Amino acid sequence: MSADEQALAYKMELSALEMLDWFIEAGADEATENSPINWFEISAKAVKIAPSQTPKHTIRPAAALAQPMISAAEIIKQANTVSKKSMTLESLEKNLRNFVGCTLKNTAANTVFADGKPASRIMIIGEAPTSEEDRTGRPFLGQSGALLEKMLHAIGLERSNDYYLTNILPWRPPGNRKPTETEISICMPFVKRHIELFAPQMIILLGSLPLRNLIHQDHGILKSHGKWYNYDLDDKKIPLMAIFHPNYLIQQPAAKKAAWKDLQEIKTKIEEIS
Ligand code: URA
């Protein structure tokens, strides 16, 4: 707790714990500094350390402010190397937790890797953790997670037994902001390796972020949901479908009818392949 917050807690005759509870109830979900940080000044100093490098786009490696700046392309290369070196899901998770190349890690409380049943062979890929997932380190725990579980329960799939959940981004973007293309590109090698190591029999994508980044097709989710695509994995073609993200369904309940039809398609495909 900062000095200002301590002073406020004292004035309100609250203990530190009561004060934190009060913040959470009031909707605060971010810890911020008392004074603003001039990142441009820090970047300028960092670039001075490595004058030979003149990258087009530079980003600040997480947890390593004093390190020289390296280009986004170099960080993506590192992400590729580290993920390819991971030979099991456990080592991929460990390597992802140790990876400091993505700035999102700076503000996240946890690395959110995956949850559910690895033996199930159905892999569901969402977008990014929000505050609940960031706090606990498990994907899809908040409101959208509850709706997702309900949707899948309706076609006979249970979280504890029948599917495995992960996200494109393992770190929560601060304030749930839209991730940048650089942040996504740094995380993609880990996602692709995650799919390789998990070796699913079916992939379900939630919303447009995984759709755009995993199968690179131009039509958005409104046109592409409910259609079967193939994900090429070595010499196999894995059936893949994108459905509406539960967050979208919370905001647009009228889309639930189409979502229900998509779920029926998934149920039929599961019956075919099992
Ligand atoms: N929680 C997640 O873990 N992923 C999402 O896409 C949304 C909420």
Plot region of 177 (φ>0 → left; ψ -120 to 50 → alpha; else → beta): beta
Distance CA 261, CA 258 (A): 5
**Residues in the chain with pLDDT < 50?**
46-58, 60, 64-66
Residue 139 Cβ contacting ligand 1 at under 6 Å: yes
Locate 17 and state its tokens: 């714990």
Distance CA 42, CA 60 (A): 9
Q: What are phi and psi of 126, to 5 degrees?
A: -100, -155
Residue 140 Cβ contacting ligand 1 at under 6 Å: yes
- Name the amino acid, one letter, at 81: T
Q: What is the pLDDT of residues 5-37, one digit of tens each?
A: 666 556 666 666 666 666 666 656 666 555 555
Residue 208 Cβ contacting ligand 1 at under 6 Å: no
Which pairing describes strands 122-126 and 115-116: parallel, antiparallel, or unpaired?
Answer: unpaired
Q: Among 127, 131, 171, 213, which residue has the most ligand 1 atoms within 8 Å of its CB, making it the best to mutate? A: 127
Q: Among 110, 138, 167, which residue has the most ligand 1 atoms within 8 Å of its CB, making it the best to mutate? A: 167
| Of 190, 194, 170, 197, the residue nearest 104 (C-alpha) | 170
Locate 92 and state its tokens: 């991929």
Q: Quick one: which atom of ligand 1 is closest to the CA of 207?
A: 6
pTM comes to 0.78
Contact yes or no for 104/186 (Cβ under 8 A): no
| The CA-based dihedral angle spanning residues 180, 211, 197, 235, taken in that order and rounded to the nearest 10 degrees | -130
pLDDT, position 274: 84
Q: Among 130, 178, 250, which residue has the most ligand 1 atoms within 8 Å of its CB, making it the best to mutate? A: 130
| Of 196, 190, 210, the residue nearest 81 (C-alpha) | 190
Residue 128 Cβ contacting ligand 1 at under 6 Å: yes
CA distances from 125 to 72, 86, 151, 236 (A): 24, 20, 15, 19
Residue 246 Cβ contacting ligand 1 at under 6 Å: no
Superfamily, domain 72-273:
Uracil-DNA glycosylase-like domain (3.40.470.10)
pLDDT, position 218: 72
